[in-house]
């Protein structure tokens, strides 16, 4: 009787115990945890000397919104799961040729590249599945303001109307996502770990739940 | 839902457009229901835009603190209107609408009446062919 009660309490505690939160890793683990997903992502410099932030949010593909919010309010996240993953703050795994590489442990699940520091990609972005027990390689992502200030050619050609460029905080960011391909930097210490390229699919829309400016991600590979 | 007609700042280009401070959006050939849905979606997405929080300014004097707060509030309101306008224009541009200049009198007529009336007139105007020059998106 007592043993059964203790077993029930233990089971309840397991259910109620919160999942571990997002963790930006500064070194490569020797073994990947089976209950965690890992994302490897390279983020280009915003402007010389300044770096970007990118937020990933759990995505409800059917409702086309962030889980637990707006059209997906009826699909909340389990307690303790990451409701957002910020890429950018924290020490990167490495930095090379104006690109920083991050390895981040997150709650497994489907995520959308939801917004930069200033802009929601509410009018079209990309979603992918971050599977447990492996590294999902997101490739390289470039983000920059649409005012010609980006050092990356794919973004530097994008401009806003002159009156918008003259206003403070009114210029939206553009985002170009390059899926992983041979030639992208992979830290030598994680070559032996299980790693799959992210399978990106279009995320046609999402709500502007963080009150940002609006834009749509460029097509994969930055094609016009 | 925040209707476009409730956001005069959105369509009046608070920042001042070099060509015309008054404009409307145009895309003839769409079903009217699609135009209304686009107007509503862009209003909803742009209407929640918020400017970044300003750093607090320490003032030991309560009157000074109130003055600083008042001025910061005014500035934040203007920034918010500008950002909503920019976001709304971006949204409509991505949905394929051209921005067309109009006169102040035309704008007054367009935005007269109730929110529903304005919304209907904006949709009707969007569907009319126009020979007027396009503004930057």
- The domain in which residue A167 lies consists of 17-219
**Tokens describing residue A192:** 């032996």
Say if A28 falls within a structural domain.
yes
Say if A9 falls within a structural domain.
no
Say if A88 falls within a structural domain.
yes
**Tokens describing residue A123:** 């009018």
Cα→Cα distances A22→A18, A38, A98, A118, A174, Å: 12, 10, 25, 21, 25
User: What does each of the 137 residues of chain B score in pLDDT, given as a tens digit?
Assistant: 444 433 444 444 444 444 578 899 999 999 999 999 999 999 999 999 999 876 666 777 877 777 777 777 777 788 999 999 999 999 999 999 999 999 999 999 999 999 999 999 999 999 999 888 888 88
Q: What pLDDT score was predicted for residue A122?
A: 98
Per-residue DSSP letter, A132: B
Using CB atoms, pick whichever of A122, A169, A216 lies closest to residue B51: A169
- CB distance A164–B16 less than 8 Å? no
Q: Are A57 and A83 in contact (CB under 8 A)?
A: yes
Distance from CA of A212 to the nearest CA of B (A): 5
Q: What pLDDT score was predicted for residue A2?
A: 54
pLDDT digits (tens, 9 = 90+) for B23-58: 999 999 999 999 999 999 999 999 999 998 766 667
Distance from CA of B76 to the nearest CA of A (A): 11
User: What does each of the 224 residues of chain A score in pLDDT, given as a tens digit?
Assistant: 555 555 454 444 444 444 568 999 999 999 999 999 999 999 999 999 999 999 999 999 999 999 999 999 999 999 999 999 999 988 999 999 899 999 999 999 999 999 999 999 999 999 999 999 999 999 999 999 999 999 999 999 999 999 999 998 999 999 999 999 998 989 988 989 999 999 999 999 999 999 999 999 999 998 76
Say if A53 falls within a structural domain.
yes
Say if A5 falls within a structural domain.
no
B89 in contact with A, Cβ within 8 Å = yes
Say if A96 falls within a structural domain.
yes
Mutate to test the interface with A, among B53, B77, B91 (most CBs of A within 10 A): B91
| Distance from C-alpha of B98 to C-alpha of B125, rounded to nearest angstrom | 12
Which residue is closest to A216 within chain B, CA to CA? B94
Q: What pLDDT score was predicted for residue B3?
A: 40
- CB distance A161–B83 less than 8 Å? no
Using CB atoms, pick whichever of A122, A124, A167 lies closest to residue B86: A167
Chains A and B form CB pairs within 8 A to the count of 71
Say if A188 falls within a structural domain.
yes
Q: What pLDDT score was predicted for residue A51?
A: 95
Which chain A residues are within 8 Å of B45, Cβ to Cβ?
Answer: 120, 122-123, 207-208, 214
Q: What pLDDT score was predicted for residue B72?
A: 76
Name the one residue in this structure whose structure tokens are 């007529």: B109
Say if A1 falls within a structural domain.
no
Q: What pLDDT score was predicted for residue A155?
A: 96
Using CB atoms, pick whichever of A164, A207, A216 lies closest to residue B86: A164
ipTM for the assembly: 0.86
Residues 14-73 of A with CB under 8 A from B: none
Residues 116-135 of B with CB under 8 A from A: 135
B79 in contact with A, Cβ within 8 Å = yes
Distance from CA of B6 to the nearest CA of A (A): 18
Q: What pLDDT score was predicted for residue B56?
A: 67
- CB distance A216–B87 less than 8 Å? no
Distance from CA of B13 to the nearest CA of A (A): 9
A171 in contact with B, Cβ within 8 Å = yes
Residue A116, strand partner residues:
A54
Per-residue DSSP letter, A147: B
Closest to B39 in 3D by CA, of B56, B25, B21, B60: B25
Name the one residue in this structure whose structure tokens are 């206003």: A167
pTM for this model (two decimals): 0.86
B93 in contact with A, Cβ within 8 Å = no
Closest to B35 in 3D by CA, of B24, B46, B20: B24
Domains: count for chain A? 1
pLDDT digits (tens, 9 = 90+) for A67-105: 999 999 999 999 999 999 999 988 999 999 899 999 999
Phi, psi at A105, each rounded to 5°: -90, 130
């Amino acid at each position: 009787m007592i043993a059964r009660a203790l077993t029930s309490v233990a089971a309840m505690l397991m259910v109620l115990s919160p999942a571990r939160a997002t963790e930006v890793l500064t070194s490569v683990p020797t073994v990947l945890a089976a209950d965690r997903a890992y994302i490897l992502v390279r983020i280009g410099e915003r402007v010389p000397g300044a770096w970007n932030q990118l937020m990933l949010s759990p995505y409800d593909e059917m409702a086309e919104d962030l889980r637990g919010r707006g059209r997906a309010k009826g699909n909340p996240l389990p307690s303790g799961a990451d409701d957002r993953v910020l890429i950018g703050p924290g020490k990167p795994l490495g930095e090379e040729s104006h690109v920083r590489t991050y390895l981040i442990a997150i709650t497994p699940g489907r995520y959308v590249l939801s917004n930069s520091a200033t802009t929601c990609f509410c009018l079209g972005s990309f979603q992918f599945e971050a599977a447990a027990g492996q590294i999902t390689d997101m490739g390289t992502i470039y983000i920059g303001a649409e005012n010609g200030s980006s050092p990356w050619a794919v973004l530097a050609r994008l401009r806003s109307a002159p009156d918008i460029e003259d206003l403070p905080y009114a210029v939206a960011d553009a985002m170009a996502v390059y899926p992983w391909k041979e030639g992208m930097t992979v830290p030598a210490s994680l070559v032996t770990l299980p790693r799959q390229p992210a399978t990106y699919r279009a995320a046609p829309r999402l709500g502007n739940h963080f009150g940002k400016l609006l834009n749509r991600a460029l097509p994969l590979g930055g094609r016009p | 839902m925040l209707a476009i007609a409730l956001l005069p700042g959105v369509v009046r280009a608070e920042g001042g457009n070099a060509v015309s401070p008054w404009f409307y959006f145009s895309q003839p050939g769409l079903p009217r229901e699609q135009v209304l849905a686009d107007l509503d979606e862009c209003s909803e997405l742009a209407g929640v835009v918020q400017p970044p929080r300003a750093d607090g300014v320490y003032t030991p004097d309560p009157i000074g603190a109130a003055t600083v707060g008042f001025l910061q509030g005014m500035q934040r309101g203007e920034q918010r209107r500008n950002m909503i306008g920019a976001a709304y224009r971006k949204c409509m541009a991505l949905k394929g609408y051209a921005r067309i200049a109009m006169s102040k009198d035309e704008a007054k007529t367009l935005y007269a009446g109730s929110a529903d009336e304005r919304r209907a007139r904006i949709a009707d105007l969007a569907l009319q062919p126009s020979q007027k020059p396009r503004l930057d998106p």
